[in-house]
Structure 1
Amino acid sequence: MRDRTFILNWIETAHLSRDIQHTKDSETTGKRAYPSPEPEEMSDLTPERTKKRKTASTDEDDEVEDIDVETTPRALLMPSRPAPSPSSSPTKSSASIRSASLRSSSQASSSRASSSRRKLSNLSLVEHGVQRQQLNGPDTPNLPQPIVDALKTIQRLERGKHVLASILDRSRLTSLLDVNDLDDRAFATDRDVGSHLSPDDVDEILADAERCFKMDHDEGVWNVEVHQYLLKKVLRRSGSSRLVDFTLCTTAPIIRDYLPPRAAEKRVDFCFFIDPSCDPSYKPRIETLVKLLPEMSISHTSYGPLRVRPTTVSLETKRPGNDFDGAILQISVWQSAHWVMLRSLLGRTWPGKQACGLSRKDYANKGLRELGALHGIVVQGHDWIYVATSPAFVDEEGRESTRTVSFGDFAGEFGSPD
């Protein structure tokens, strides 16, 4: 084997030869040589062909929305800005620039909010679309039982009941109980109920959230600094079964088969999932089912880590005061696709009318009714807001429907459920 010094000398020689040849080529052509982008960069730089203006109305004119995929931002390859010449006009003051930036940001936020409301409105008109419904508490008419149960849990926590796990050291919580006027009812009687976070954990999370707020960080920083850490402390604590876990899923695309007609896909920031490796009974059933489904995925996304891990709760995050309607739109489209996938799965596993006494459609509807709801959370800065969706089997006129009802904006008698 050649020694390391020989290899390094060979590399230096190769680089020098390449540079000399490159210089000769440039002198021969008499043209300035520019570095070429890598192939993967070329795909980002290649502009799309401009479409000709339509002279007649088509279905595409009535699209629910333009292609607006929520993806992780990528760096754009842009030419460097030329340095200002000495003769250029005087530089604006930093205060003026900041003021203009704030106005521009405010206008952009207003435009996004208006666009999100329009898209939500349009989405209610299409098959497999989404209809919004105000969530006024457990007594909201026609509310599925799983949502009623979730709201009652929220109200119980607001009253300070069963907030803390019974195994926590009460001597370390004296100050917390006193400041918040809590008594022994704050401790759960069931070992698996209540928060297991220690006072130190809570202080650290609060400090990180306060820092993100004061520094006006974007949602990506909130996700890393606050949300990821909190979810990890809750779902991956020592001694838990880990059957239910979570993942960041900002790059998880919805499978096109499950999207509402003419709707652009939307993505969410986090989702909970069932990990079949923690329960041997799940794995063989999932392996059988994925063979029947698009992209061989048990979920409504083709994202690799979730193809054999059924998704459950969805979380969409926003920075404080930023585009709440956009968050509702994202989580609504995401969960609407989830319902379409579940309906398709039930239809594919229908045992036949002779075996179950139900038609394929009634068999699927029965399964969806038994599930009842998909739960979600919109996180906007410090505020955690409960949302949920459920299938709509009939519309307002009593006709059959495959749309999804999105329940949100809940603020109960005892305040916001965040």
Structure 2
Amino acid sequence: MSDYDTTESPPNKRPRLDSDSECSESSTSYSGSSGTASPTRNLVMLQSENVIDRQSFTGEKQRPKRLDNLVNLIKDDGIGMGILTQPDLHPDERVLLSDLLNTRRLIDTAGMRTNLGVMRPIADLVEIWREANICEVNGHSEAAWNSEVRSPLLKAALRYCVVNQPGDTRPVKIAHTNITTAQIIESYSPYQETKPEKRADRVDFCFYLQPKFQLTKGALSSAAQRSVHGSINHTDYITLLNRPISLSIKTDRKAGLEHMSVWLSAHWERLDELGASKERLLEAIMDDQVMFLPGIIVQGHAWALVAAIQGALLRNRGETVIWTEIPIGSTEGLQGICQIITVLQRLAVWSADTYWPWLASLRHCQFST
């Protein structure tokens, strides 16, 4: 831990969305008899209040180099480029993969895929595929999708990811958990004045960093306790008090982007407290060091990548720039499932190799990586 400053700076002043504000009255339309604002209108409100700004991954605005490098790799993953290796192709499973094996680009011949991990046995992925189609045909709820399809898919990716293997020398492992009930700490939320039942600020799953060494665990705990909320994150969900979030996942057919935008904006607020704002000048000069927060939005079968960057780093008027979106795969078929697993493993490796050292270097963290 840093020995020259023992208190965190108070959160920076930022616009807060008040449910009774003039903007709410003029800009928000309501759907049905529930009195809740539509997701599209809420996103417009977030932009008009300078809470977020939206950019497209396919637009003209240049992406920061660090984000661009990862996006280019994930674009390849999202079309199936090199997502399978020869060891994945067990003879008993070639019948299941007969259609995929006819597409040569799916087989990695450069030896790069194993840097992320290996694929779960294909027979297990077939079960996920079947469950996904059952959920779709029978109109199952998001909770059923999450339990029967998405959670097993996340487990499949991380269990076979290289960062979680016994011989791996990285100082952290990457785990996932369901956080459907986790709430943003009020002081970080742009909906500070809005009634909790009207907030759109929750996500469903996350990846978190799990240090292997007791010394690092203690340092994380100390950093968390220096906050009045006792959490290293922007939520006081008990499982995540001392476990930093590196990837957030929202499953919602309608309001996924709205929830994710608010969640990632609040995440950046907490990182500012930990010292991310002190790095802004350096990062603005050294563009390849600009950090981002990845997110995944899941709508039925379809999975897509988004990302959030502090707007001040890009001289943008919005506090948080939300980049949308790159399709990464679909649970409608085996190829799409293999694509999703590849991207999840890539994001897990990124979490350990890139995000963790950056987080550890922040002024109010500063522990050994």
Q: What's the TM-score once normalised by structure 1's chain length?
A: 0.61
How many Å apart are 1:147 and its aligned residue? 2.7
Following superposition of structure 1 onto structure 2, how do residues 282-301 of structure 1 map, counting pairs within 5 Å?
A: 282-301=216-235
Following superposition of structure 1 onto structure 2, how do residues 9-408 of structure 1 map, counting pairs within 5 Å?
A: 61-62=20-21, 115-126=38-49, 129-136=51-58, 140-165=60-85, 167-175=87-95, 178-180=98-100, 181-183=102-104, 186-187=107-108, 189-190=111-112, 191-193=114-116, 195-237=118-160, 240-241=164-165, 243-260=173-190, 262=193, 264=199, 266-276=201-211, 278-318=212-252, 322-323=253-254, 326-346=255-275, 362-363=278-279, 366=282, 370=289, 372-393=291-312, 403-408=319-324
1:109 & 1:160 partners in 2: Cα distance?
44
C-alpha RMSD of matched pairs (Å): 3.3
Q: Is the CA contact (8 Å cut-off) linking 1:163 and 1:195 kept in structure 2?
A: no
In the other structure, the counterpart of 1:356 is: none
Structure-2 change in CA distance of 1:331 and 1:216 (3 Å): same
How many Å apart are 1:294 and its aligned residue? 3.1
Q: Who wins on radius of gyration, i.e. which is larger?
A: 1
Structure-2 change in CA distance of 1:331 and 1:341 (3 Å): same
What amino acid is the match of 1:219? E
What amino acid is the match of 2:74? I
2:151 & 2:104 partners in 1: Cα distance?
31
Structure-2 change in CA distance of 1:211 and 1:265 (3 Å): closer
Q: Is the CA contact (8 Å cut-off) linking 1:315 and 1:379 kept in structure 2?
A: yes
How many Å apart are 1:157 and its aligned residue? 2.3
Q: Is the CA contact (8 Å cut-off) linking 1:166 and 1:189 kept in structure 2?
A: no
Q: What's the TM-score once normalised by structure 2's chain length?
A: 0.69
2:103 & 2:78 partners in 1: Cα distance?
11
Q: Is the CA contact (8 Å cut-off) linking 2:280 and 2:313 kept in structure 1?
A: no
Q: Which is strand-richer, 1 or 2?
A: 2
Higher relative contact order by CA 8 Å / sep ≥ 6: 1 or 2?
A: 2
Q: Is the CA contact (8 Å cut-off) linking 1:134 and 1:410 kept in structure 2?
A: no
2:54 & 2:74 partners in 1: Cα distance?
21
1:109 & 1:366 partners in 2: Cα distance?
50
Q: Is the CA contact (8 Å cut-off) linking 1:250 and 1:268 kept in structure 2?
A: yes
Q: Which moved more, 1:260-269 or 1:308-317?
A: 260-269
Q: Is the CA contact (8 Å cut-off) linking 1:244 and 1:273 kept in structure 2?
A: yes
1:110 & 1:144 partners in 2: Cα distance?
41
How many Å apart are 1:172 and its aligned residue? 3.9
How many percent identity over aligned positions? 29
Q: Is the CA contact (8 Å cut-off) linking 1:343 and 1:364 kept in structure 2?
A: no
Structure 1 stretches lacking a partner, 5+ long: 1-58, 67-106, 348-360
Structure 2 stretches lacking a partner, 5+ long: 1-17, 26-30, 166-171, 329-335, 341-369
1:63 & 1:303 partners in 2: Cα distance?
33
In the other structure, the counterpart of 1:81 is: none
How many Å apart are 1:292 and its aligned residue? 1.9
Q: Is the CA contact (8 Å cut-off) linking 1:145 and 1:372 kept in structure 2?
A: no
Spell out, residue by residue over 1:322-372, the C-alpha distance to the aligned partner (whole angstroms, 9 max, x if none).
Answer: 31xx1000011001000010011107xxxxxxxxxxxxx543554697352
What amino acid is the match of 2:94? T
Structure-2 change in CA distance of 1:159 and 1:218 (3 Å): closer
Structure-2 change in CA distance of 1:152 and 1:236 (3 Å): same
Structure-2 change in CA distance of 1:283 and 1:296 (3 Å): same
Structure-2 change in CA distance of 1:394 and 1:366 (3 Å): closer
